[in-house]
Amino acid sequence: MVDLGPYSNYRLTVRLELANTPGIFARVAALLAEEGANLGAVDIVSATKTHIIRDVTFDVRNEAHGEKVLARLNAVPEVTVLSASDRIFLLHLGGKIRVEGKIPINTRNILSMVYTPGVGRVSQAIARDVSKVYAFTSKSNSVAVVTDGSAVLGLGNLGPEAALPVMEGKVMLFKELAGIDAWPLCLNTQDPDEIVRIVRGIAPGFGAINLEDISAPRCFDIERRLKTALDIPVMHDDQHGTAVVILAALTNALQVTGKRIEDVRVVVNGLGAAGTACCRMLLAAGVSHLLGCDKEGIILSGTPEQLHACRTDLTACLTREVPTGTLRDALKGADVFVGLSVGNILTAGDLDLMSPERIVFAMANPDPEVSPELAASHCRIFATGRSDFPNQINNALAFPGIFRGALDVQASHINEAMKLAAADAIAHAIPRTALSEEYIIPSLFDKTVVPLVARAVAAAARDSGVARRRTPTNGSSSSE
């Protein structure tokens, strides 16, 4: 029987009507075992002298496997499948988010203050001094999560409707982890000019913009143009959130191995949105020896001076048309491998090309660049993007605190200094004495992470001159 574990994405609850005869359920259990479907909870719903209705929960490998199991159950004599539900689809019924007001409207007096005529005074005050919009509206704590559905998770160009469940999940994380009210905006266009125009149009209602699941290379141009056009923070989280957490994990991994960031040789494989941002972040943090690979081979290289000079725009160091070697060539003598590409492209022999005490971050999902079982005996420190192995590198460790800190000081931008501060705060969320090969990055559920990151980001915003509030507090006591 295949052990899919408690977090299987394919868990079905099936309501069965069975003849109330000894041995019938045993036949069902035997069928599930034969199919490799893990049997979980079994509950009796009702029973009569002739029939018994049970809810049976079991895990399957995928949707096709589930359909096959259901068909076989229906074919068992004296067994009828009354219904089948998938827990993930049940959780999404009706959507995962809603809007609630802070003040109950239960009297005519309250209505007259939150809406007309009372609200008119607030509108006039903001018209006279537009900065008061931060004090008297939700703008100071609101983030627009904007997507065009062109790069939904690792699933590809699924379109704006299919992106909506993912964006709802994202705004839930904003609220749960950082207390931020975020709003999913799924745009029915993939034209960069249109996206920029729409986001500029809706910006007055938000304190920041989170770009999400927009494919490369369009995402670079869209983010750049919006950052230039708007006076509120704009961040493409697929790029920068991932890069921040990778830097935090590397900081602690180097602490464990006793290596210095300026000395290590780093290979980044996969130069899409996340990979490119990762290279820029690592160079900003002090990495001097870096090679970037894509499917063509080594296409990013240079002397430490050249790499540092082009870290904000890697174009000058990219040679896509003339790769200078293969991924295996790049791995020779490398201390660190960061994979943001595709699964199962590395072998044990590839890892053995690296230097001793090697650090491997295999981030491809669902299958890492090298299997965890193989990597365990061939590297000192191993991390993935998955939650079922130690050292999960998850951008949800970064974006809630980054946006919280930026909003708290009404930052006009999220800059390099703020991202570096976020990475350092995440790394130091783990006491130095607690670091180990399997504990280089804090848990997503560590409640200390977001406040630490928010304070560090707010301080960096003030120090770099992009904060419009000196004190990181929400709201304002200013009057008309």
3-class DSSP state for residue 395? Answer: helix
Name the token pair of 358: 């090697």
Question: At 454, which amino acid appears?
Answer: A
List strand residue ranges (DSSP E) for 87-150, in order.
Answer: 142-147
Distance CA 210, CA 189 (A): 17
List the helix and strand counts (H, then E) for the chain: 18, 14
Distance CA 69, CA 50 (A): 25
CA angle, 85 then 89 then 91, to 5°: 105
Residue pair 167/147 in contact (Cβ under 8 Å)? The answer is yes
Question: At 394, which amino acid appears?
Answer: N
Taking residue 432's Cβ as centre, other Cβ atoms within 10 Å add up to 10
Active site residue 134: no
Residue pair 467/429 in contact (Cβ under 8 Å)? The answer is no
Active site residue 115: yes
Residue pair 347/310 in contact (Cβ under 8 Å)? The answer is no
Distance CA 249, CA 267 (A): 15
Residues 6+ apart with CB under 8 A from 322: none
- Burial (0-12, 13-18, 19+ Cβ within 10 Å), 142: middle
Distance CA 4, CA 19 (A): 30
3-class DSSP state for residue 329? Answer: helix
Q: Is the dihedral of CA 75, 76, 81, 87 positive or negative?
A: negative
Name the token pair of 478: 């200013």
Residue pair 55/14 in contact (Cβ under 8 Å)? The answer is yes
Which one is catalytic: 139, 170, 227, 419? 170
Which one is catalytic: 115, 175, 295, 332? 115
Distance CA 97, CA 108 (A): 28
Annotated active-site positions, please?
A: 115, 170
